Structure 1
Amino acid sequence: MRLPTFVTLGLLITGLTACSQPPKSITPVYTVTEKAFGITIEAQGEIEAADAKKIIAPGRRPMMIAWLAPENTQVQAGDVIARFDAEQITRSKREEEFAMLKIQQDIIKSNAAQSQEKQDILSEQAFVAQEFAFVDKFAIDDLRLYSQLEIIDTLQNRDFLEAKDEFLDWKEDSVLEQHASEMSVLDIKKKGFAAKVKRYDAALSQLEVKASHSGLLVYVKDRRGEKPAVGNTVFPGSPIAQIPNLDNLQTKLYVQANDAIDLATGQNVDIVLDAFPERKFTGKLTKVAKFPRSIARGNPIKFYELNADIEQSDIRVLQPGRKVSAKIHVKSPTPSLVVPLQSVIYDQEDSFVWVEQNGEFVKTPVTTGRKNLYFIEVTAGLSNGDNIALSALNVTQGADS
């Protein structure tokens, strides 16, 4: 009767011992093999003319577009392609003309005030002249006729009249000088308003933009990637449209900054028209922007802008503005030892991977080469057939276990 009891106790102890052992950590591994490794970057963009005659917004002030000719239509030299709104310019011109009228009224008022002041001075000068005549006529310095005090009083009156006459001369000169200064200021203001009116007249005469050459009309995007539209404000000197040379087309491509790897001019590009996916074209990168930038308002994602020529020519399908998809061949596929990007650990300037040896993972230094979006070359430190850990975090957990 004791045998079952011992068996049950042994099984219980065995179970408790098994439960006390930590579970074995399983780390995903990758087997290093030699495979074709290349770098290809996808890009999106559109066709544009490498050579085009630009049509520039005229004038010297921003203007709002009131009408635009349809894009991608054939135009002749001299055809109107855009008209600007004249309401704001006309209103501004009337305001300046009204200001000129007010200045003219100020000039008339100033002339009238000067004439009145001059008339007052002339009246006082005439009165002083009469007083002089009276004093000279009746001023007698004979003590037998007048007392000494009366003679002194008469002489003082004459001195006062002389001082007053000098003051009136000074006042007349002062009035003339003050009036001349006021007229100079008013004249400067009047000339300023007249110059503005002249500029508005010039702007009104440039409300129509005409094509300088015959050809296909294509509107130009601004730095935010937006084309001109009715109601938009256009600044003077900025390009509105262009007449492209259809015999010399290129592609303008955009690559996300995070995907741009080793881009350089001269790299081969495969181009596919979105509207004609069966048509494929080839070319080479001719320009790579030095810095990425945002290409859409409100979109924080930055892109590198590229240009690639088109080696084939077919004006039936290659039209400016048509969207394209492209593949940029940065590196042609060649046999190489490659590992996933996430398997490489970086410590300052050194690179490591975790290599499986006898059931354990050993931190092994490696020398890396070029990389694409998923893999990186290993030029030294690994051999064909080695097993490496895919994640450094999992390896650490396995070692601790």
Structure 2
Amino acid sequence: MPTKHRLQQLPILLSLGLVAALTGCNEPEIQVPVYQVAPATLLHKVHSEGELFAVNSVNINAPRNVQGPRFIASLAREFSRVEPGDVVVTFDASQLERSQRKANTGLSSVLADEQQKLAEQQNEQRALGLDQSLITQEFTFADRFSIDNVQIRSRLEILDSMQNKEYLGEKQQYLGWQEQSFSQRSSGELELLQLQRGQQQNLLQQAESGLAELEVKAPHAGILLFESNWRGEKPEVGGMVFPGFKIGSIPDLSLQHLKLQVIEQEAIGLAPGQRVSFYLAAWPDSELTGQIVTVGAIAQSRERRDPRKYIEVIVAPEQQDPRFMPGIKVIATLWLNEKPGVLKVPLQAIFSEQQQLFVYKRQGSRFVKQPISLGSKSLSHAEISTGVAVGDEIALINPES
């Protein structure tokens, strides 16, 4: 039975083997994509976005003479025309009113304590004065009527009189010391109360000056612009600002520049003087030109949820345009480098091993590692200084893998 079962399975196994053999013969050979080296122009350009801003403007800041944060109660409409004296920002008064009430209460309490302390000191001073007057009279009487004649008074009466006179003298000295100690103690207590009174008066003055500056007014005529923080957020009703915080500005529209944000990894090679082409987001068909003025030294985050960091680049347009308005969005292209007639290859074709750069160069039907050295680079290509020649074919992927 087992032999008969194997004979029945033999045709099935032969059929499966034949199918596998045919499948293996029809499998296509994997082709390695290649790139032929030829002279070309290496173009390094970076795309970025930003906005226009006025070079000269008058800042609008939160008052500096108020300690602690303040909350915005109302704001004038951004990009609106303002005249001198127009209210731009109004702050909430509830916190300052609470501070004023608290300072008034504290000042009244300190004044009451000061009056009570003065009354207590006067009473104590009067009591000490009466005691000193009484002791002085007793001492004068004892000294005047002291009789030390043993024929008139007994020895015990004389000793008693002498002790009484000595006691009155000691008590008179004690009352003098007590008066001096009282004077020093009362002076310290009054100075402490005066210090507390001065603190409460300062708090009251700060609250009153803050209430007097609840409104920020435009210093001159112009267009109102609000300032964005490092996250791109502008002031809003209910927002918190600190003393001296820049809320906005009224710009001079005659001179405006571009403020661009370039991703840190793409900002390599940026330098003042490089050419920039840009267009206003509202007029994409009208291309304008300019050049880089400054490049930020430190990369910063732009949004909370964006892990990327950006370099700030300032661009001066070649000429001012009547359509320019601070805050208008611009899309720009920064031309970092342009080298014609160089041997360039895609970055994906360059490999590294033990700090040595190389490419896979075709030699007949196989690829060999060819060491190279690089010149300038762009975001997608690199200039080959040595290692390859015109007409060489290099692999775009690792043929060994």
Instruction: Describe how 1:106-185 pairs up with structure 2 within 5 A.
Output: 106-136=113-143, 138-185=145-192
AA of the residue aligned to 1:39 = H
The alignment status of 1:60 with 2:65, answered yes or no, reads: yes
Partner residue, 1:4 = none
Kept in 2: contact 1:31–1:385 (CA 8 A): yes
Instruction: Describe how 1:84-123 pairs up with structure 2 within 5 A.
Output: 84-123=91-130
Pairing partner for 1:325 from 308, 312, 331: 331
AA of the residue aligned to 1:387 = E
Kept in 1: contact 2:41–2:338 (CA 8 A): no
Q: Offset at 1:89?
A: 1.3
Partner residue, 2:275 = 268
Q: Distance in 1 between matches of 2:254 and 2:90?
A: 29
Partner residue, 1:197 = 204
What count of residue pairs does the alignment treat as equivalent?
A: 380
Kept in 2: contact 1:59–1:202 (CA 8 A): no
TM-score, normalised by the number of residues in structure 1: 0.87
Structure 2 vs 1, CA of residues 120 and 33 (structure 1 numbering), >3 Å: closer, same or farther?
A: same
Pairing partner for 1:371 from 342, 362, 377: 377
Kept in 2: contact 1:66–1:230 (CA 8 A): yes
Q: Distance in 1 between matches of 2:223 and 2:325?
A: 10
Q: Secondary structure at the match of 2:334?
A: strand
Q: Distance in 1 between matches of 2:305 and 2:103?
A: 39
Partner residue, 1:389 = 395
Pairing partner for 1:43 from 40, 44, 48: 48
Q: Distance in 2 between matches of 1:133 and 1:77?
A: 83
Q: Distance in 2 between matches of 1:146 and 1:48?
A: 111
Q: Distance in 1 between matches of 2:89 and 2:32?
A: 67
Q: Offset at 1:314?
A: 2.9
Q: Distance in 2 between matches of 1:27 and 1:148?
A: 139
AA of the residue aligned to 1:42 = H
Which string of whole-angstrom CA distances, capped at 9 and with x for unpartnered residues, describes residues 27-55 of structure 1?
Answer: 44333233332011000111111222222
Residues 170-179 or 343-352, more deviating: 343-352
Q: Secondary structure at the match of 1:395?
A: coil
Q: Distance in 2 between matches of 1:143 and 1:177?
A: 47
Kept in 2: contact 1:261–1:372 (CA 8 A): no
Cα RMSD of the aligned pairs, angstroms, is 2.5
Partner residue, 1:32 = 37
Q: Secondary structure at the match of 1:277?
A: strand
AA of the residue aligned to 2:53 = E
Kept in 2: contact 1:256–1:302 (CA 8 A): yes
Q: Secondary structure at the match of 2:283?
A: coil
AA of the residue aligned to 1:204 = L
Q: Distance in 2 between matches of 1:178 and 1:299?
A: 64
AA of the residue aligned to 2:78 = E
Partner residue, 2:366 = 360
Q: Distance in 2 between matches of 1:207 and 1:181?
A: 40
AA of the residue aligned to 2:335 = H
Q: Offset at 1:91?
A: 1.1
Q: Offset at 1:26?
A: 5.0
Q: Offset at 1:77?
A: 1.8
Q: Which runs of 5+ in 2 are unaligned?
A: 1-13
Q: Secondary structure at the match of 2:135?
A: helix
AA of the residue aligned to 1:64 = F
The alignment status of 1:80 with 2:84, answered yes or no, reads: no
Partner residue, 1:3 = none
Q: Distance in 1 between matches of 2:353 and 2:165?
A: 109
Kept in 2: contact 1:59–1:203 (CA 8 A): no
